[in-house]
Structure 1
Amino acid sequence: MQDSSSPAAEAASSLDDLLLAVGRRRDRAAFAALFERVAPRLKAFLRRQGCDAGQAEELVQEVMLVVWRRAELFDPARATATTWIFTVARNRRLDALRRESRPEIDPGDPMLVPDPVEWADHRLETAQSAGRLRAALDDLPPEQADLVRLAYFEDKPHTTIAAERGLPLGTVKSRVRLALERLRKVLREPS
């Protein structure tokens, strides 16, 4: 059993006194002394709980802010100042872990933004245009249609197409150009 005049009892008592002074009188000097004595111990505690140095420092600041704001709730009959402050630290650490495991949703995230609503008349017009394009491609000479499909639907460079088809590069380019001119002419005509 500890004597009330022992160094440990005096240290606990003085922390209690400092916290009471903060709670009752908003004593800034008492808060500064409390911060100086408790903050290093809080940081060490949080580091043992798995926080990195930066996170531990941030949590110490949050804890001491809570201590400043809620010091009037401290009751020395229920717990020591150290127990009360370290309970606040433990709770803040748990809150931080919860935030890490369930990150906040960013409403501006492009993955969460719905696709714009496409009007029915626009969908119909797009479908009709696609149908006209397919029909125009089917009307091209087979070799030109093949080169257009390779260049624009399979996104192959003209040099690759020339190598695959065994044609000179200039021939591939001129046939693709001819095919595109035919497609433009057919697609410009009113349906």
Structure 2
Amino acid sequence: MGRAQRAFEAEDCGPDEQILAIAHFQDRAAFAQLFNRFAPKVKTYFLRMGAREEQAEELAQETLLAVWRKAWQFDPERASAWSWIYTIARNLRIDALRRERHAHVIPPDPEEAPTTPEQALDALEGEAGVRRALQQLPTDQAEILRLAFFEERTHSEIAEQLGLPLGTVKSRIRRATEKLRGSLEGFH
């Protein structure tokens, strides 16, 4: 490990090599160099995307910590270091926006509750239709929808909990919602 690790610790290593050093050796010096190089760029990206100063700082740190934790997933043949880090940053920003949106959800107005027996029956039939449509989904898709919509988990949280790649989680949610939409098309 000594000679290979020393090669990664060289000051002139590029970001790809620094991420690989983190992945293979948990190289703190490589991480420090990568952090110094990318944290300001990532923070600027978050600021341009509308984040507040303290939120941009926090998300930039969270992004670089994710780089440390996920360095083993980096493949320089599939993406450059910046593209890979940007993707992590973008996904964290989306997750942050979702959390903010859910934090500001206003509970339904009791005045909008069904007032006639017909409205109450329609609401119950609607719920039953959704339940039947959910039962027709493959188990993996139903589970992901339950986590996403009923437990309000972010895509990243679901991926981590189920041990799946983030792209798999997103595609299963998309396929499941398309199937639900198809099952509920004629229903009003």
TM-score (normalizing by structure 1): 0.48
Is the radius of gyration larger for structure 1 or structure 2?
Answer: 1
TM-score (norm 2): 0.48
